[in-house]
Amino acid sequence: MTAAPVAPALPLRAAGRLLRLELRRSAMLTMAPLAAVLFWFVVYRPSMAFPPLWNVRAMGMQTRAVSVFAPTVIGAAAWIGSREGRHAITDLVAGTARSRWARQFAAWAAATGWALLAYLACVAVLYVVTARQAGGGGPLWWPVAVGAASLPAFAALGFAAGALRPSRFTTPLVAILAFLALQLSVQMIHDSGSDWQISPLVAGPWQIGADEGVATFYHYLPDLPIAQIMFLAGLTAALLGVLGLPAAAGGRWLRRSAAAVTAAGLLTCGTAVALAGTGRLDAHGMIAIPGLHSAAGDRPVGYAPVCGHTAIPVCLHPAYTVYLPAVTAALEPVLDEVAGLPGAPVRISQAAATYRQETGNGVAIGLAGPLISGTPPVYHLLLPNQRGGPTMTVSQLADAVRTDTRHELLASLICGDAREPNPAQQAIVAAMLNTYDKVPDASVAAKARRFAALPATARHAWLVEHLAALRSGRLTLAQLP
Amino acid sequence: MIYEATRTPQAGLPPRTGLRLALLHLASRRVPAALAAITACAVVLRIALHWPWDAYGALQLPLIFEAGCAATIAATTASPFGEPERATGPRLPLLRLGTALALTAAAAGALAAAGIGAHLAGGSLDVLRNTAGLTGIGLLCAAVLGGARAWTGQMAYLMIGVYALYTQWHGPALSSPWIWPARPPHDLGAATCAGLVFAAGLVAVTVSGSRDPLGE
């Protein structure tokens, strides 16, 4: 009795079997726990220290996760890529049924698959926790997509280096050099039209970083992420194509295909870099690329504000809900005093910040339009954390509201449009903020102290009667009570 | 009959034979290539120091090159012979120790020399501490994981070190002496920790060598 002849395996089935073999023994599998630990230390732990804002956490995640996964994936892929060379079995496996390029593609795909799985699992944990804490404004998926698109490119880079230059030094050196190149790429960014924004570390205008003011009132613009994904896809194709160029990679047809893939990849990379170079900082703090821009991205995102229960309600975008108790508590003493005064706002409403590129890496962040406008009047509030700078904790923000926002609110109500408040206006503002000890002019400080010493009802009655005159600058210091 | 050339050598090698043994050991560990890589790191660092880096970039730049040199040193511990070499004689530990020490000194010296006349963040003392500490991590990883995989520990530590430097600007700052790259160059605790790790790595690699399967 003879065994039945085995039917030849379908090409796809055979490729699947090869991929399963590579998946089982991929070095990336052993590196995944290390990447996860580094993700926890460098990405997750600091993210949890930030307020639960999608823009801060997602944009910061992209930069840090790419930094963590780049050397890990490149190193593992270089190790896998140099396997045949290190074991000196290149000639031995040259006689196998599959071409060298196909074998290398399977090994690269396995490494990429494990890297993607590890990355997505890490990101999923971060996003699930953030979704439970955040009030709105997300989740933002483009930063996740750029990070995910970078992994095949990193794996291809490491794999190509390992395969083309198999040595015991290749793996560590290529991983460290790639990390250096990534860090170098962001050093080259000098404004929002820099080609170097194509670096996957960049999640927005590099000069302001993961800013708390973007992607809440307006959409997270996909322009730069699209260019970055194009670049990373092109880089992946070019590097994988390079693997198919040597004579040992396969037959003539296969090598020609590899050359075409390489050329197409390089062309895509060049196009993406050129597109990134046409970027500009838009008014909402994102990088807009004219060739990729959709006007729909410029429309504001609709939202139902969350409001506090103060004499004048304070209303914030739901993404900033976490700050509402601190902001209302910080503003409440002043709001109690100004409620009902002529010209006083009926609502404190959070507004979107506007961004303007200055020379070099400078960015001006401010409020478009007056602080108080409309009928009935509304005070447009820009939270201190919307003005750029390091990310603030809730208590840091409350301190900034107590010192800066309260002063701005009173100054806009009492001084109106005056750029230089007169002594009477200075005295009333200082009295209401209880900062008369810090006023350098002794006569102004004395008047402020006297006004602050009045009962609250008396102060309020005087302001109701005289606020219009005070605001227009007609009252002198001597006319204050 | 035993031919003259194949006789077991007498105890106490003549100087030329000792030198030949050392050279063979260095060649088997690819030490010339490692020295070339260390020199390349120093040259690239020198070139990079002329670049107008921002404050954060200037701080992390030397650390990246220190990690590169340390990873190169750890990679030299991989043995191409495995067990047959371990059975050959008592001088192997000394050769391992000497190789690791000499390469670490060469790396620290080359990187410090690269910073002469330029603004090298932390200065030579920082280079010495970080290179020694990172090499120690690599040697420990070589003893546990094998010389070819020793870079994983150094790479992970580089990430932690770079992040710790970042936290000096965007707190809360990491200040443990075990994360020595983020500590000032004259910090005794950080130097002690780096020194301890280096010593532990030297002992591990001297006594047991790198844990390499034959052929790796």
pLDDT by residue (tens digit) across B54-69? 777 788 889 999 999 9
Q: Does the pLDDT at position A63 exceed 80?
A: yes
* pLDDT given for residue B166 in this prediction: 87
Which residue did the predictor score with more confidence, B2 or B175? B175
* pLDDT given for residue B196 in this prediction: 96
Same-domain check for residues A186 and A326: no
Full residue range of the structural domain in which residue A42 is found:
12-298
Nearest to A308 by CA among A331, A328, A323, A330: A328
* pLDDT given for residue A445 in this prediction: 85
* pLDDT given for residue A278 in this prediction: 93
* pLDDT given for residue A193 in this prediction: 83
CA of B46 vs chain A CAs: smallest distance (Å): 14
Q: Does the pLDDT at position B2 exceed 50?
A: no
Number of domains in chain A: 2
Same-domain check for residues A287 and A335: no
Predicted confidence (pLDDT) per residue in A128-142, tens digit: 999 998 877 779 999
Distance, CA of A48 to CA of A60 (rounded, Å): 11
Average pLDDT over residues A178-195: 87
Which residue did the predictor score with more confidence, B128 or B80? B128
Same-domain check for residues A184 and A41: yes
- For residue A431, being part of any structural domain is answered with no
Residues of B in contact with A391 (CB under 8 A): 170
Distance, CA of A77 to CA of A156 (rounded, Å): 7
Sketch the domain layout of chain B as residue ranges: 25-208
| Domain final position from A281, A298, A315 | A298
Structure tokens at B203: 């002992």
Q: Does the pLDDT at position B88 exceed 80?
A: no
Nearest CA in chain B to A42: B163
Predicted confidence (pLDDT) per residue in A451-464, tens digit: 888 888 888 888 88
DSSP strand pairing (A354-357 vs A347-350): unpaired
Same-domain check for residues A180 and A231: yes
Which residue did the predictor score with more confidence, B133 or B214? B133
Predicted confidence (pLDDT) per residue in A69-125, tens digit: 999 999 999 999 988 877 777 777 777 777 888 888 999 999 999 999 999 999 999
Candidates B48, B60, B151; nearest CB to A172: B151
* pLDDT given for residue A446 in this prediction: 87
Nearest CA in chain A to B72: A169
Candidates A31, A41, A390; nearest CB to B160: A41
- For residue A445, being part of any structural domain is answered with no
- Answer whether B94 touches A (CB < 8 Å): no
Exposed/middle/buried for A67, CB within 10 Å: 0-12, 13-18, 19+?
buried
| Domain final position from A325, A355, A382 | A382
Same-domain check for residues A180 and A289: yes
What is chain A's alpha carbon radius of gyration, rounded to the nearest angstrom? 30
- For residue A313, being part of any structural domain is answered with yes
CB contact under 8 A, B215 and A87: yes
Same-domain check for residues A310 and A257: no
Residues of B in contact with A176 (CB under 8 A): 64, 67-68, 71, 155, 158
pLDDT bin (cut points 50, 70, 90) of residue A1 is very low
Structure tokens at A389: 């700078």
CB contact under 8 A, B155 and A87: no
pLDDT bin (cut points 50, 70, 90) of residue A155 is very high
Candidates B51, B65, B151; nearest CB to A175: B151
Q: Which range has the top average pLDDT, A227-236, A374-383, B59-68? A: A227-236
Q: Does the pLDDT at position A262 exceed 70?
A: yes
Same-domain check for residues A250 and A376: no
Nearest CA in chain B to A178: B64
Exposure b/e, A237-250, CB count within 10 A at least 16 = b: bbbbbbbbbeeebb
Percent of chain A with pLDDT over 90: 40
CB contact under 8 A, B148 and A177: no
* pLDDT given for residue A181 in this prediction: 92
Same-domain check for residues A163 and A276: yes
- Cite the DSSP H helix spans in A367-422: 394-400, 406-414
- For residue A168, being part of any structural domain is answered with yes
CB contact under 8 A, A42 and B215: no
* Strand partners for A366: A354
* pLDDT given for residue A213 in this prediction: 81
Average pLDDT over residues A285-306: 88
Same-domain check for residues A263 and A307: no
pLDDT bin (cut points 50, 70, 90) of residue A415 is confident
Percent of chain B with pLDDT over 70: 87
Average pLDDT, rounded, for chain B: 85
CB contact under 8 A, B148 and A171: yes
CA A438 to chain centroid, in Å, comes to 39
Q: Which parts of chain B are beta strand (E)?
A: none
Candidates A49, A168, A184; nearest CB to B30: A168
Candidates A34, A75, A173; nearest CB to B68: A173
Average pLDDT over residues B10-39: 82
- Answer whether B151 touches A (CB < 8 Å): yes
Percent of chain B with pLDDT over 90: 49
CB contact under 8 A, B71 and A167: no
- Answer whether B78 touches A (CB < 8 Å): yes
Which range has the worst mean pLDDT, A351-360, B74-83, B206-215? B206-215
Same-domain check for residues A181 and A160: yes
Nearest CA in chain B to A35: B156
Q: Does the pLDDT at position A349 exceed 70?
A: yes
Q: Would you list which residues of chain A are within 8 Å, Cβ to Cβ, of chain B?
A: 31, 34, 37-38, 41-42, 46, 49, 64, 67-68, 71-72, 75, 79, 86-87, 167-169, 171-173, 175-177, 179-180, 183-184, 187, 390-391
Q: How many CB pairs below 8 Å do chains A and B form together?
A: 87
Nearest CA in chain B to A27: B149
**Sequential DSSP letters for B105-140:** HHHHHHHHHHTTTS--TTHHHHHHHHHHHHHHHHHH
Q: Does the pLDDT at position B1 exceed 60?
A: no
Nearest CA in chain A to B164: A42
Q: Are A112 and A151 in contact (CB under 8 A)?
A: yes
Candidates B60, B78, B163; nearest CB to A183: B60
Q: Which of A45, A56, A169 to mutate to test the interface with B (most CBs of B within 10 A)?
A: A169
Average pLDDT over residues B115-137: 91
Structure tokens at A465: 């009667």
| Domain final position from A355, A382, A409 | A382
Same-domain check for residues A363 and A223: no
* pLDDT given for residue A236 in this prediction: 96
- Answer whether B193 touches A (CB < 8 Å): no
CB contact under 8 A, A390 and B170: yes
The H or E element that residue A411 is part of is helix A406-414
Predicted confidence (pLDDT) per residue in A18-30, tens digit: 889 889 989 899 9
Distance, CA of A346 to CA of A390 (rounded, Å): 32
CA of A360 vs chain B CAs: smallest distance (Å): 13
pLDDT bin (cut points 50, 70, 90) of residue B14 is low
Same-domain check for residues A115 and A65: yes
Average pLDDT, rounded, for chain A: 87
- For residue A437, being part of any structural domain is answered with no
Distance, CA of B131 to CA of B104 (rounded, Å): 7
- For residue A242, being part of any structural domain is answered with yes
Nearest to A390 by CA among A12, A50, A31: A50
Q: Does the pLDDT at position B34 exceed 70?
A: yes
Candidates A71, A169, A177; nearest CB to B75: A169
- For residue A158, being part of any structural domain is answered with yes
pLDDT bin (cut points 50, 70, 90) of residue A418 is low
Average pLDDT over residues A186-206: 87
Average pLDDT over residues A429-441: 82
Average pLDDT over residues A44-61: 90
- Answer whether B68 touches A (CB < 8 Å): yes
Nearest CA in chain A to B56: A187
* pLDDT given for residue B11 in this prediction: 54
The residue written with tokens 């270089």 in the block is: A78
Residues of A in contact with B51 (CB under 8 A): 187
